[in-house]
Chains A and B, each alone.
Chain A
Amino acid sequence: MPFKIIASQCSGCSACELECPNVAISEKGGTFVIDPKKCTECIGHFDEPQCVAVCPVDNTCVVDTSLPRYQARA
């Protein structure tokens, strides 16, 4: 499950939902959730995971930093 949204921090702004190329994000009770089966980390679509780039609350769409792709960014 490479990406998830920390519900307690999510403002419910829906920005990530609009940007996700895989329609992996949807609303659930006022905040948003990522469907891990649909999330591809945006690989093949964009250089950055879109939900992370657009989310206004830092560290809310969390990236699993153990993945090789994010080692360089850290």
Chain B
Amino acid sequence: MDVSALDEASLAGSAVDIGETMQAIAEHKGCGTSGGTGNASCGSQAGQGDLPTEIWEKVKNHPCYSEEAHHHYARMHVAVAPACNIQCNYCNRKYDCANESRPGVVSEKLTPEQAAKKVLAVASTIPQMTVLGIAGPGDPLANPEKTFKTFELVAKAAPDIKLCLSTNGLMLPDHVDTIARFKIDHVTITINMVQPEIGAKIYPWIFYNHKRYTGLEAAKILNDRQLQGLEMLTERGILCKINSVMIPGINDQHLVEVNKAVKSRGAFLHNIMPLIAAPEHGTVLGLNGQRAPTAQELKALQDLCEGETNMMRHCRQCRADAVGLLGEDRSAEFTTEKIMAMDVKYDLKMRKAYQAKVEEERVAKVAAEQEELAELGNEMSGVKLLVAVATKGSGLINEHFGHAKEFQVYELSTTGAKFVGHRRVDHYCRGGYGEEESLATIIRAINDCHAAFVAKIGGCPKSNLLKAGIEPVDQYAHEFIEKSAIAWFKSYLVKVQSGEIQHVERGEAAIRQGALISAA
């Protein structure tokens, strides 16, 4: 790697030692996302386990930082920062930033005052909304005034809401102190490479110090600033999540290196997201016919990095003005027009009471799973398989097959049920045009699963699923996901052992490419 030609000594990331605490956090393997593997020491469980208390307090009801929390708590994004300072080849700036959102989505832009009002309106309507994020479109730190003004207004009016921020990292080192002062305790940095040669294929240019840089030079400056920013944040005890976009043939293998680099600098969570690229998004990669990874390739890479850091597998690549539980979007209920007409009363007591109820639910869910798991304990089998679950949240199998906008995928083995991802699908039940076709799309999306758990399913889709080799399971309607999945798995193993059925591997599954434009 020859980057010595660059005379950018002043930019080189200072190699600061990471404080011992942060090192300890980084070493917490398997946390954050491994909901229910029976690993009781994990940040994703309903209990604190052995996570340090300060960290547990930060993640326990943050839907992005805790897989387990994401079934129960909601987040919202406000789009106050449209300007950006770098160009990504998977992004078309007519739309929202693709680092967190799906390409091809346009969010409603707000002033900081409008944004603050929106936060209060949402918090009063959706008491489980605990997190406000600013993630673009654009880079929040390319618009520092608007970003920090919004945080300031929200912190004053709704002090219980956690603040978080997503950035490409270019301006991060300049703002770390402000971030700490505003008590923003979660920061996401998108890091797609730690090698300028690879970066040059992803970033055509950056705008830095009043100058446009291109090629290797641009990639090197960007990466130095990202890693320096990460070090500065973890030193101050601010939790960092790293997003990486997996681009087959460009950085897929390299992301293992990225994983090591960010882990050694104290990143709490690594979120490897699939590239979403279609020619109609007008992105450079989309127009070049760059393909997206398959669900298997994505999972294999996530599995490979899992031993190194906590992996996030529940990211929905939300829109920049998303509102609600992950996987759900209620932004249409909160348009600027509607918010401005609302008379908002912020009721902290009501929110607290509601959240206490959610906590009870979480504890009950884990207890039920542990009980079921205890019985599985003496089973011996190498069988490992995936199942798809239709859920509206709260950790329950409570969605009708035809209404599901996504399926959550769990990996079942004798060690338990582990959340490993989600598959976005179109509503099947819209009726009329293309019904057959959308059913086929759903089957493609969950084609690697052995069973689909639903609250209800019609006769026709049922027989289609069976034909595709996916067992429709509706006898656990409105029960806890993990507990039910383990119970089903037990009977599956019994049937395999008795020779009633044969265990076969399933095929590949596709990741849905289209932008989710409708806010439905």
Contacts and interface: CB of A to CB of B under 8 A. Distances in A.
- The reply to whether chain A is a binding partner of chain B is yes
A46 B211 CA distance: 8
A47 B211 contact: yes
7 contacts: A14-B82, A14-B83, A15-B207, A18-B142, A50-B210, A54-B207, A57-B93
Interface string A24-57: 0000000000000000000000111010011011
A73 to B, nearest CB: 12
Interface in A2-25: 11-15, 17-19
Given A13-B83, A18-B83, A57-B93, 15 more contacts: A11-B93, A13-B138, A14-B143, A15-B84, A15-B138, A18-B142, A19-B210, A46-B210, A46-B211, A47-B210, A47-B211, A48-B210, A54-B207, A54-B212, A57-B94
Q: Indicate the size class of the contact surface on chain B.
A: 10 to 19
Do most interface residues of chain B lie in helix, strand or loop, or is the interface mixed? Answer: loop
Interface string B203-231: 00001001110000000000000000000
Contacts of A11: 93-94
Nearest to B137: A13
A48 B93 CA distance: 22
B294 interface: no
B338 to A, nearest CB: 20
Given A11-B93, A18-B142, A56 B87 contact: yes
A38 B142 CA distance: 23
B85 interface: yes
Among A11, A47, A56, max chain B CB count under 10 A is at: A56
A53 B211 contact: yes
A18 B72 CA distance: 39
Contacts of A57: 93-94
Q: Indicate the size class of the contact surface on chain A.
A: 10 to 19
A12 B137 CA distance: 11
Nearest to A46: B210
A19 to B, nearest CB: 8
9 nearest A-B residue pairs (beta carbon): A15-B83, A56-B93, A53-B212, A54-B207, A46-B210, A13-B82, A14-B83, A11-B93, A11-B94
B146 to A, nearest CB: 9
Nearest to A52: B212
Contacts of A48: 210-212
Among A17, A50, A54, max chain B CB count under 10 A is at: A54
A14 B93 CA distance: 11
Contact of B85 (A12, A46, A47, A54): A54
A49 to B, nearest CB: 10
Contact of A53 (B82, B93, B210): B210
Nearest to B209: A46
Nearest to A12: B82
Interface in B168-220: 207, 210-212
Contacts of B142: 15, 18
Contacts of B94: 11, 57
Contacts of B211: 46-48, 53
Contacts of A53: 207, 210-212
